[in-house]
Amino acid sequence: MKEKDYIEELIANNLDALNDNEPFEGHFERFEAKLKAKNRTRKISLNLVLKVAAVVVFAFLATNQAFIYFSPDSQGLILNANKSKAVTLASVSPEYQEVEFYYTTSINTGLEQWNALSAEGMISEDEEAMMQDELKEFERLYKNLQSDLAANPNDERVINAMLEFYQTKLSLITMIVNKLEEVKQQKNNHNESI
């Protein structure tokens, strides 16, 4: 209890000094008014920001749709599709034209190697028929992708599907030709060792 008495005595001796640190008259009311004003402006500013964002998004979408509708490039591609002309990646952009050229050249080279191996008798009739069926299936898929590209010339999904088509066709032909080349090499090595 001695400590309690000491604290009470300390407060009693310094009561005048402690009372000098009270806030001025009306401090709590002004503080409360500032808090209310700050909360009110936050709600208004957030609401305003959401409205402005909605207007900007709407304006962007409207501009984009107008651009697509009035763009001469997209109308030309659609007209070309209606005239039954083939729409390819080359009609989308010069960069895609280079990519398409690479893939078509590589695929044609692989098919030439396939035909050379077939002429050498490395491929049976069943394997030849199976390859022709696969090539027909690739051609059917390519026609579908071309019609999708004609309908949506700037759609990245269609463009990526075309690129994946070329990659898949090239990798399949390359894999088959490489395996046939290995078999041919083994056959030659076996014949030389006899």
Q: Write the pLDDT tens digit of every residue in 109-159.
A: 988 888 888 888 877 888 888 888 888 888 898 898 888 888 888 888 888
* Whole-number Å distance between alpha carbons of 101 and 95: 10
> Given a cut of 70, is residue 46 above it in pLDDT?
no
Closest to 75 in 3D by CA, of 99, 91, 59, 60:
91
In this prediction, residue 40 carries a pLDDT of 62
* 176 in Cβ contact with 131 (< 8 Å): yes
> Is residue 71 very low, low, confident or very high in pLDDT (cuts 50, 70, 90)?
low
Structure tokens at 40: 């009110």
* 99 in Cβ contact with 89 (< 8 Å): yes
Mean pLDDT, residues 64-76 taken together: 65
> Given a cut of 80, is residue 68 above it in pLDDT?
no
